[in-house]
């Protein structure tokens, strides 16, 4: 157990020294395996992991969902989502910020990436809010916070990776994210209202749209609804009716989604040969980065399990007669603290191999724990000093300070903590839909 703790500390030290987390976990894991067994056995195990990963059909779901999100981005769907949200919400005080949250939720449902959601929506909505006189704090905060929904609302790449790491049903993880994702949108809308209540000039009301204009805006998002229904409906058997049988596995759903997004982008005129090649290259680069981190995490996970850290922690808890809920509270606090210095995927891959066996050994549900981890990860995306969505927004917008964005997102991460408490205290909010599958 001591070797595992030293290994964990070594990974943290290497990451703080700017070594990429994939190499840090792989190097420490390799050294730890060699110490626990011998160098030849460690080399053999790592080689087997590399071969198995490259041949694992289940991992193909990752590049396919990434490809779907990139094609969606090229199709220009983000603007239509914002327009329909603005048509229904824009006439309220703070309405454009609320429309941004709703549009981010819709875009997240077919994109699956928080960073892509924040970067794309900032280009669409920031000029509109500035034109109407919105404060930079509220404008940037609504985009940064809304972008976090991309990792929870299905399909979500980070839920896929959690499912692969822990061998948990990806289908159950996806459907479990629907209610927490909807709660996230609701609480963010409340955060907008809190912001404009404190400063009414931060979010002036826009014009009221006629019913005809609202219907016209709704017709502009038919492709989004169709794509979401195709992917999620096929995954859960909603398309399984005579004479058609369209029940998909997660990989098949990702493939159908990628093809559907490609056809939508092509139909809308958003694709050329050059842009298609650009999408494919970006998909390959992103997938390679994710797989490198995933392989590093698996090497480190094998070392941690071999050294007996999860079992040692569980025995320590039993000997100390600690309540499982007290242990869960400590784990959540550790995630919140790590979120202040690590980006989301690195934090997930570094900690799940350690905490997952402990949590399931204490009787907690694997699907519920996965959603809790992702919600805490969402919080880390907008909290200082390493709120990744904040820095992405700063790089896209340019003429806005990081301090301004962090001040604006304060009500949003407070609402995130309230949501997290609800999901911890009432696990049925997460588990009610998976239990009906």
pTM: 0.81
Residue 207 dihedral angles phi and psi, to the nearest 5°: -80, 155
Burial (Cβ within 10 Å: 0-12, 13-18, ≥19) of residue 264: buried
Residue 399 exposed, middle or buried by CB count within 10 Å (0-12, 13-18, 19+): exposed
List the structure tokens of 264: 């939508």
Q: Give the residue among 173, 201, 175, 203 at the shortest CA–CA distance from 189.
A: 203
Using one digit for the tens of pLDDT, what is the confidence trace for 343-367?
Answer: 677 778 778 878 888 888 888 999 9
pLDDT given at position 241: 57
Query: How far is Cα 8 from Cα 18, in angstroms, rounded to an integer?
Result: 16
147-196 residue pLDDT tens? 888 778 877 778 888 888 888 888 889 889 889 989 999 999 999 999 88
The pLDDT > 90 percentage for the chain reads: 9
Structural tokens at position 309 = 């850290």
pLDDT digits (tens, 9 = 90+) for 35-78: 888 888 888 888 888 888 777 777 788 888 888 878 877 777 77
d(CA 149, CA 171): 18
- CA pair distance 130, 203, nearest whole angstrom: 10
Q: Residue 411's closest CA among 101, 124, 129, 176?
A: 101
């Amino acid at each position: 157990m001591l070797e595992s703790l030293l290994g964990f500390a070594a990974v943290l030290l290497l990451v703080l020294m700017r070594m990429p987390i994939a190499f840090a976990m792989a190097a420490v894991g390799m050294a730890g395996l060699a110490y626990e067994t011998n160098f030849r056995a460690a080399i053999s195990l790592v080689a087997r992991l590399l071969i198995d990963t490259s041949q694992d059909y289940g991992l193909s779901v990752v590049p396919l969902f990434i490809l779907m999100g990139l094609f969606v981005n090229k199709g220009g769907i983000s603007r239509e989502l914002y327009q329909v949200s603005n048509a229904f919400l824009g006439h309220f005080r703070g309405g454009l910020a609320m429309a941004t949250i709703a549009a981010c939720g819709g875009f997240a449902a077919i994109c699956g990436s928080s960073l892509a959601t924040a970067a794309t929506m900032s280009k669409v909505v920031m000029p509109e809010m500035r034109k109407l006189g919105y404060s930079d704090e509220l404008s940037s905060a609504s985009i940064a916070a809304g972008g976090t929904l991309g990792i929870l609302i299905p399909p979500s790449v980070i839920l896929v990776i959690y499912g692969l790491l822990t061998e948990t049903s990806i289908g159950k993880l996806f459907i479990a994210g629907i209610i927490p994702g909807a709660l996230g949108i609701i609480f963010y809308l409340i955060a907008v209202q809190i912001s404009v209540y404190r400063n009414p000039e931060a979010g002036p009301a826009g014009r009221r749209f006629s019913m005809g204009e609202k219907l016209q805006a709704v017709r502009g998002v038919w492709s989004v609804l169709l794509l979401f229904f195709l992917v999620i409906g096929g995954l859960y058997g909603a398309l399984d009716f005579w004479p058609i049988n369209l029940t998909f596995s997660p990989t098949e759903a990702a493939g159908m989604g990628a093809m559907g997004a490609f056809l939508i982008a092509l139909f809308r005129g958003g694709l050329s040969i050059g842009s298609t090649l650009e999408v494919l290259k970006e998909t390959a680069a992103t997938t390679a980065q994710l797989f490198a981190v995933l392989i590093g995490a698996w090497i480190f996970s094998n070392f941690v399990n071999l050294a007996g850290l999860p079992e040692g922690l569980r025995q320590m808890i039993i000997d100390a007669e600690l309540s499982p809920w007290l242990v869960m509270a400590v784990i959540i606090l550790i995630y919140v603290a790590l979120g202040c210095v690590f980006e989301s995927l690195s934090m997930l891959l570094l900690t799940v191999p350690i905490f997952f066996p402990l949590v399931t050994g204490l009787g907690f549900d694997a699907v519920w724990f996965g959603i809790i981890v992702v919600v805490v990860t969402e919080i880390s995306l907008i909290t200082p000093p390493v709120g990744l969505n904040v820095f992405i927004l700063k790089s896209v917008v340019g003429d806005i300070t990081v301090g301004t964005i962090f001040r604006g997102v304060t009500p949003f991460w407070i609402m995130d903590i309230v949501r997290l408490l609800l999901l911890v205290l009432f696990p049925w909010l997460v588990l009610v839909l998976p239990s009906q599958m």
